[in-house]
Structure 1
């Protein structure tokens, strides 16, 4: 017997709600002109999708041939994950018609244990393998039980022989015949058990491979499907366009990029990685991608009481200034990153991107790459290193964002002339702003860093002077075909004092070579030219001096 489907329904107010809320649950008998049989199912395809961080806003369109009066139409199928309270239906203004009620009716049809007639050959093959494995496992169990009984029989026979020999009985022919029969039976059953176990292992491996292939090629048919029940009233017969929209979960997107560096030009392709498992495929839809966070609550933050109290400092504390070195990240100008959503940084403002052409995204839960935009810009390469952080020399490419939209934070596939070279990360970049993209490290460059520190305290003034010397050794290992010099930008840092009792001074006379620049954050920069196979040494010297009342330096 085939399983009987069961139906459940929930209604939602449409653009023209009824006067009474009771009519939303069921239509009055006088308002329905349908027969006892279910009306014909009218296709309601997906035409546009707006995908957000964890859900999608789906729009559907259908052309309806309406008759004068009130009718109930059945449209679909639609995904069972659609959110009922977000249903919204409207008709075109060309025909005087009104939407009275719209609801989702879900039908549950459980799958039987055996394949149906419309199942694929792969699914039937998997079912046959499962049946064969079950039969083999049962046969192995029976053979193990029989071997156990034969072992007990052989033990009883040997005990009988021992007891008979002790009593003086000598029936050698019968004993030999019985032992040969038991041993022969055990050998036969043992060989059958080994063959059955080997076949079971082979069937299990083949079944796992078939299930993996089916997981890549097919999806399980949905047991819970839905359709739309629409009640409309038309003043006259005619054709109208129905637009229906709703929210659905199980859909999300993330940005991704592909950067191709070719000499002095860089091509950046912007893509969207879309996943969806809504229960129905999106075929040739207008795709819009938004960074709106509809799931995040918009409640204002709670204000907590903050009490400030003043206390007199002890005399000993007033005579002593305690200082300490701390690490502080230098923040670059621009919008603050939004926390809570890894991989999507929109700078605190909702960004909307559009696919230039209709796309198709199957409901298989896998990642699908959708092209959004592409541009080519002039690139400026720079070899840079920060020896305090890493001994590697990296290549940084600077270019302008000419895409016409903001570049959201996401991974970048890096491609050079030789092919794929790695994966980097792109930060949020406004339209027209400059972009710094790291293209990995250079294997033919190395940097070694050594530091020395001396401390001197004057007995007369009780002033402490700390002198720190940093030596950087740069090396370039080049092939015989390279003949041009390369400039490596080396960056080091010196402490920045926030109190007047501590002074930091850069000794330019002791630095070799002299720094090219130093900013207000204490970052010292050199532009060091390196010839093929060349070596250079950069020396940085700075002093920190503090009075005798300073502690912690």
Structure 2
């Protein structure tokens, strides 16, 4: 018992009056997508036998007409088992009405809105008075200029009238002083009214919402074989609504509590009150057509003898990454790892249509955490506290900002990367101010005449010190990471000179990451030395 919008309606009399109040059609469920919302509305109707036209609403005028869908379900068992066509939706459409607000406040407006209107009227009157006073001062300035020109011309012709000129100049100066004082007073009053109007407008914006001028109603034409109750379900898409994930991480000793939240913004024109909220990362507006194929030609060129004898080397930076989504610069959308994710709010929520951010709690879990003080001197001279934990929320953690809280309170904000259910994750809880890190690099280059090999030797020294408060005890382990180049060709070899390293690194992985676990007592200092050499054959260039 479904329908497609704008089905032809049979020519039957309409028993419903246009002036009758519409039947309420509240929002009962919302599926918030990345940049829009799928709205579900339900209403219980008491239908009479025959064809009837119903008017329901009001609904948001932003509803997308082509997504409007209506479905009727009988609530009585005998009607549910009745013949086919016992309940039919013949037509469903949205009719919009525009009711412009008048220039003056109406009787049902609040005192705050009336105050704003009165201040606006007073401001307009003061601006007009200021303009009149400024115009009068300009005229008096022109009159004074004409009088001075007359005095100059009369003196040149030998016609003098000092008494009249003095009297006229005194009168003009007196009037200019009077109107200048009035203009200053009007300017001060205008400034006061402007400040009061700005405060009242901000208070009105914070306290109440501008009533909508464009309102929509759902017109529904139904046919019932017998009278009785029925359940109406109407769905449609609405823009001006979106959501993004957010988190709050609380570190308490060796345990971490992660609270997942959804931040919602909606300006659809109607409030969502006690609705079932579902959050989806589906991109309904994304194009589903495959990209167009273009011609890509590959051309083979014979290398010269000199090119075949020489190997060109190139140093490049690569990011170490595991399987997962590509990194996202900023947060243009919801990073879901390439698969649509659906989350549900545990309880009904209410989101007003004010365009502001509203947080909705989704889940919370506490898990053991392993804290580590880590430092990568080549990237930053800071020692950062890293916390590693497993995702025990039961759902994927999407990329989003995290409010970091420690025993001392709020410590900053970080970013949580996409984490699958049960997968490990890590958060950086900020740098430690009681550490100092200094890094020095020395490089030598030598070419041996016998083997015609180029040897580049590098020595990296990292000076690590701990500034402790009086009375602090106990060593603290700091993980220091450096890196060495990784060769992809046999003509170039990279070797760590362990005999020159102090101390010997605890680990050197396949990606060239060298790791030390350095223990520092309060006020202690350590120097870590890494020595490695790069050896290239004589037929290589670019090193």
Q: Which TM-score tier does this pair reach, normalised by the shorter chain?
A: over 0.9
Separation in 1 of the partners of 2:92 and 2:172? 77
Asked if structure 2 preserves the Cα contact closer than 8 Å seen for 1:291 and 1:350, the reply is yes
C-alpha distance 475-339 of structure 1, shift in aligned 2 (>3 A): closer
Q: What's the TM-score, normalizing by structure 1? A: 0.92
Q: Using the TM superposition, give the Cα deviation of residue 212 of structure 1 relative to its aligned residue in structure 2, in angstroms.
A: 2.4
C-alpha distance 106-466 of structure 1, shift in aligned 2 (>3 A): same
C-alpha distance 234-148 of structure 1, shift in aligned 2 (>3 A): same
Q: Which residue of 2 aligns with 1:268?
A: 258
C-alpha distance 35-461 of structure 1, shift in aligned 2 (>3 A): closer
Asked if structure 2 preserves the Cα contact closer than 8 Å seen for 1:53 and 1:291, the reply is yes
Separation in 1 of the partners of 2:58 and 2:169? 71
Asked if structure 1 preserves the Cα contact closer than 8 Å seen for 2:395 and 2:420, the reply is yes
Q: 1:92-135 CA distances to partner (integer Å, 9 max, x unpaired)? A: 13343211111111101112222222222222222222211211
Which moves more between the two structures, 73-82 or 337-346?
Answer: 337-346
Q: Does 1:15 align with 2:2?
A: yes
| Count, aligned residues | 534
- Of the three residues 504, 510, 513, the one matched with 1:520 is 510
Gaps of 5+ in 2: 80-85
Asked if structure 2 preserves the Cα contact closer than 8 Å seen for 1:336 and 1:348, the reply is no
Q: Which residue of 2 aligns with 1:28?
A: 10
Separation in 1 of the partners of 2:165 and 2:326? 93
Q: Using the TM superposition, give the Cα deviation of residue 41 of structure 1 relative to its aligned residue in structure 2, in angstroms.
A: 0.7
Q: Which residue of 1 aligns with 2:352?
A: 362
Q: Which residue of 1 aligns with 2:403?
A: 413
Asked if structure 2 preserves the Cα contact closer than 8 Å seen for 1:486 and 1:529, the reply is yes
C-alpha distance 514-177 of structure 1, shift in aligned 2 (>3 A): same
Q: Does 1:66 align with 2:47?
A: yes
Cα RMSD, aligned residues only = 2.1
Q: 1:291-321 CA distances to partner (integer Å, 9 max, x unpaired)? A: 0011111112333333333332211011111
Q: Does 1:188 align with 2:178?
A: yes
Separation in 1 of the partners of 2:493 and 2:402? 43
Q: Does 1:85 align with 2:69?
A: no
C-alpha distance 154-324 of structure 1, shift in aligned 2 (>3 A): closer
Asked if structure 2 preserves the Cα contact closer than 8 Å seen for 1:265 and 1:376, the reply is yes
Q: Which residue of 2 aligns with 1:330?
A: 320
Asked if structure 2 preserves the Cα contact closer than 8 Å seen for 1:386 and 1:492, the reply is yes
Q: What's the TM-score, normalizing by structure 2? A: 0.94
Separation in 1 of the partners of 2:385 and 2:177? 71
Gaps of 5+ in 1: 1-13
Q: Using the TM superposition, give the Cα deviation of residue 35 of structure 1 relative to its aligned residue in structure 2, in angstroms.
A: 5.3
Partner SS, residue 136 of structure 2:
helix
Q: Which residue of 1 aligns with 2:82?
A: none
Partner SS, residue 24 of structure 1:
coil
Q: 1:499-533 CA distances to partner (integer Å, 9 max, x unpaired)? A: 11111111111110001011111111000001111
Q: How does 1:242-321 map to 2 (within 5 A)?
A: 242-321=232-311
